[in-house]
Structure 1
Amino acid sequence: MMTYALLVSGVLQNLGIAAIAALFYDIVLRSCPTPSVRHTLVAIVFGAGAVGSMMLPVEVAPGIIFDLRNAFVILAMTFGGWLAVAVTTLAAFTYRLWLGGAGALPGGVGILVCASAGIAFALYFKGRRTGLVSFALLGVFCAGSLVSMFLLPFETAMGILKNVGPVMLVMNILGTMIVGGIVDRQKRQFERESVLTQEASTDSLTRLANRRAFDLRGPDLMETANQQGDACALMLIDIDHFKQINDAHGHDVGDKVLQHLAVLVRSNVRKTDLVARYGGEEIALVLPSHDVKRAFSLGERLRKAIAGTPYRHEGKLDVTLSVSIGLYANDGATESEAFTTVFKRADMALYRAKKAGRNRVEIALAA
């Protein structure tokens, strides 16, 4: 049998693996462009962490090893979802059986026990705040996987648990607390930064992008379309006689009208299109892959949808709306113009729509 000192030393080495895995987890959160890619890479990080931990095992008895694989398995669902727990469990289970030895079967069963406990924990705490106390509780369940030792002959299991069981119990709990605490801190920091970034680029009233976000992203979207030889359009939508709505019904109704308009516009375009509240009652859009025909068709659809969907305030007041739309479109074949020039062309088209009687779409073709 081994000494406590060797067990503690082995656990400390495993915590180094955990720290590296946590670092990669943070990198994945911050660098992945889409949730699907993020979930896949988080699953790989947790699976690699479990296997990496098993590559630095502590042999507590011939053929029986201890490491922190179960901490990764039991935390995978909380921080990575179903894909992460599936990948981590499969990787850890397969690698433990491949290592073999007298403890292969108990080790595999322990992994499955931890996966089940981790799933139950994640489902129970979904939407609730977790912390070191909850991770300590999870560590108790992680340590509970030691009961799988009794798949060995009773005398062997009792000998192992009597010799190093208390330390293994404590190290399972501490390992889960430490790994969970580090990863949870990184996750919360990322979520806080994401919220701040979202708030900085979102109009608080309509929940559309704000002018700052439009000025930053709009030129990039149009430039990318031009480099790919793809069509792109810029559209400006302005509510007709909006001041009269505010004067007649109050600014609170005016705000609701803007929210109503934002919902109508957002529901008629693609998620990939940039939609922003550019000024008071003006909404600006950048529409990749829209040539003049497609953009005009969208403008007409929006105009008709808005005119045909009055805003109903508190179930008793119908506010009929109409909009004027100015449109710039580039077919992708002509040389691109500066974004500021493009915006001015669309704005001039919007002015012509207003002057021509409102409730219409006017086009400014690329030069």
Structure 2
Amino acid sequence: MTTAMLVSGVLQNLGIAAIAALFYDIVLRSCPTPSVRHTLVALVFAAGAVGSMTLPVEVAPGIIFDLRNAFVILAMSFGGWLAVGATTLAAFAYRLWLGGAGALPGGVGILMCAAAGIVFALHFKRRRTGLFAFAVLGVFCAASLVSMFLLPFETAVAILMKVGPVMLVMNILGTMIVGGIVDRQKRQFERENTLTREASTDSLTRLANRRAFDMRGPDLMEAASQRGDACALMLIDIDHFKQINDAHGHDVGDKVLQHLAVLVRSNVRKTDLVARYGGEEIALVLPSHDAKRAFGLGERLRKAVAGTPYRHEGTLEINLSVSIGLYASDGVEDVEPFATAFKRADMALYRAKEAGRNRVEIALAA
């Protein structure tokens, strides 16, 4: 076995890494839920480790070299506990199944890399990683070569003297390249995710913004209609908000809006759409809420706001109230268009204001 053959084998393994990175990117972008994403990422890393062992370089009879340990040592950083567990188990089992004189040292090396990867991931949690960090991780990956001394001492020394330096360099470079490729895919996904989230989020209240409400609201109501399910649309408006701004300033007014956003968000489900629609107005789409349930939620929100004054810096207390307009459909087949439903809720809000504020008014589907 020559150095050229070892390098050639590593290059073939990098092809496996590139394919794994492609599937990693597909998983990040296409999985609808975190649980499914974590499961599939674990499978990608496990498949990468096993796939690497299908293109090994035999450095001595029964002793192979590949980039499985790069996948094992990186699994925790990019896939969490499930990924490192699945990758370690798959790599360990497959190496033992391949057999040969290097089966036991190879298995121990896999376990060493898994442990190093866990320590690395926990240490760099919430920190930015880069090629230098992956180089350090590659050094730990290369350190697993000490497992070769589970072979007869003379055999281990002979192998390491012959190809040890090249294997060490290839371990470091392999970990850096695999880590760099996957890390780039992850950062690109996170960057796009952040831009998408910011484009649909109100910067002050951290609720959905009007654009997101106008895009998602009709889909939610249409989905409820197709299921024959009830759905409600709610508009909440702070009473005398202009007076709060005039008396205390817009900074305090902004804090009042944030206060209201927290109260509303804490009283509804995560699946409900809650948006700052404009000014001091919050709009909600509430799937599975018929007229009775929606009115009950409106009353609960109204009382929560009235019973929770906003306290500014411990010196100023502002009593608040809200007026609420509701539109409710009880799951009839001919549900009115979203724009009509919104207009009905807006008219109900107007009636609540005209009737003295601090109340809930409801408009039923025609």
How far apart are 1:163 and its partner, in Å?
Answer: 1.3
What SS is found at the alignment partner of 2:101? coil
How far apart are 1:110 and its partner, in Å?
Answer: 0.1
What SS is found at the alignment partner of 1:203? coil
Partner of 2:274: 275
Partner of 2:357: 358
Partner of 2:208: 209
1:180-237 CA distance string (max 9 Å, x none)? 0011111111111111111111101100000000001111111111111111110000
Q: Which shifted more, 161-170 or 261-270?
A: 161-170
What SS is found at the alignment partner of 1:84? helix
Q: Which shifted more, 69-78 or 221-230?
A: 221-230
1:34-113 paired onto structure 2 within 5 Å: 34-113=33-112
Partner Cα separation in structure 2 for residue 225 and residue 183 of structure 1: 39
1:1-367 paired onto structure 2 within 5 Å: 2-367=1-366
Q: Which shifted more, 328-337 or 135-144?
A: 328-337
1:58-104 CA distance string (max 9 Å, x none)? 11111111110000000001111111101100110011111111111
What SS is found at the alignment partner of 1:264? helix
- Identify unmatched segments of 5+ residues in structure 2: none
What SS is found at the alignment partner of 2:245? helix
What SS is found at the alignment partner of 2:208? coil
1:151-203 CA distance string (max 9 Å, x none)? 00111111111111111111100000000001111111111111111111110
Partner Cα separation in structure 1 for residue 294 and residue 97 of structure 2: 59
Question: TM-score scaled to structure 1, two decimals?
Answer: 0.99
How far apart are 1:126 and its partner, in Å?
Answer: 0.8
How far apart are 1:333 and its partner, in Å?
Answer: 2.6
Partner Cα separation in structure 2 for residue 172 and residue 136 of structure 1: 9
Aligned residues: 366
Partner Cα separation in structure 1 for residue 92 and residue 230 of structure 2: 51
What SS is found at the alignment partner of 1:334? coil
- Identify unmatched segments of 5+ residues in structure 1: none
Partner Cα separation in structure 2 for residue 231 and residue 91 of structure 1: 48
Partner Cα separation in structure 2 for residue 334 and residue 65 of structure 1: 66
Partner Cα separation in structure 2 for residue 269 and residue 41 of structure 1: 31
Which ranges of 4 or more aligned residues in structure 1 deviate by more than 4 Å?
none
CA RMSD of aligned residues (A): 0.7
What SS is found at the alignment partner of 2:325? strand
AA partner of residue 317 (structure 1): L
Partner Cα separation in structure 1 for residue 365 and residue 54 of structure 2: 62
Partner Cα separation in structure 2 for residue 100 and residue 291 of structure 1: 64
How far apart are 1:357 and its partner, in Å?
Answer: 0.9
Question: TM-score scaled to structure 2, two decimals?
Answer: 0.99
